[in-house]
Amino acid sequence: MTSLDLLFKIYMNGVRIQQTDSIKYLGVVIDNKLLWKPQISSLCGKLSQACGVVCEIRHFADMKILRSIYFSLFHSHLQYCISDWGRAYKTVIRPVQALQNRILKYLTFSKRTSSANDIFKLLKILKVSYLYQLHLEKFMYKYNADILLLRSEIPSGICTKLRTVAASNNRVHMP
């Protein structure tokens, strides 16, 4: 059996729906293997532009304004649908983390070779991986508190996966 035999032919109202490698839906690029590489690439373009803006205006604003600009231009893109693409392989997310490190160094006029860990603590900003964990934990809290959706509306496969991820992170108590 060849890979061509495995292709599905889906029709809607008599019109064949073409299979693609990725599609952009509500600003999120979803690829056919859910590896999130096209989404990360698109995101990195937006984040890189924000880095350029911050690098240009950092000389004319104080830290409070720069931090506000960070959250409006960079962080807003970073957290959009992070609960989906944030579970990608670390190697795929690494460029996003590098851009976050870069913009924080721009904000604080730090050297490119300096460690960003102290800057994260100083500015009280979460790294990409911690931001993903926070979104996942907030989701699980809402789910367990029955304020998200009715449990019957969430497919059981998703619930099992969420419990596994949460338990492996040792962050959320699962009843």
| pTM for the predicted model, two decimal places | 0.75
Contact predicate 50/103, CB 8 Å: yes
Instruction: Give the burial class of 162: count Cβ atoms within 10 A of its Cβ; 0-12 exposed, 13-18 middle, 19 or more buried.
Output: middle
Query: pLDDT in tens for each of the 175 residues of the chain?
Result: 455 555 678 888 989 888 888 999 999 999 988 999 999 999 999 999 999 999 999 999 999 999 999 999 999 999 999 999 999 999 999 999 999 999 999 999 999 888 899 999 999 999 999 999 999 998 888 878 777 655 555 565 666 666 666 555 555 444 4
Q: Within 13 Å and on the Cβ side, how many CA atoms surround 59? A: 3
The pLDDT assigned to 173 comes to 46
Q: What is the DSSP letter of 19?
A: P
Are 55 and 106 contacting, i.e. CB atoms less than 8 angstroms apart?
yes
Report pLDDT for 145. 77
Residue 167 has what pLDDT? 59
How do the domains of the chain map onto residue ranges? 6-125, 129-175
Reading the block at residue 18, the tokens are 């073409």
Closest CA to 84 of 26, 132, 128: 132
For residues 38 and 7, the answer to whether their CB atoms sit within 8 Å is no
Which of 131, 151, 146, 141 lies closest to 174, judged by CA?
Answer: 141
Residue 169 has a pLDDT of 56
Q: Are strands 28-31 and 22-25 parallel, antiparallel or unpaired?
A: antiparallel
12 phi and psi angles, rounded to 5 deg:
-135, 120
Nearest partner of 83 among 25, 143, 137, judged by Cα: 137
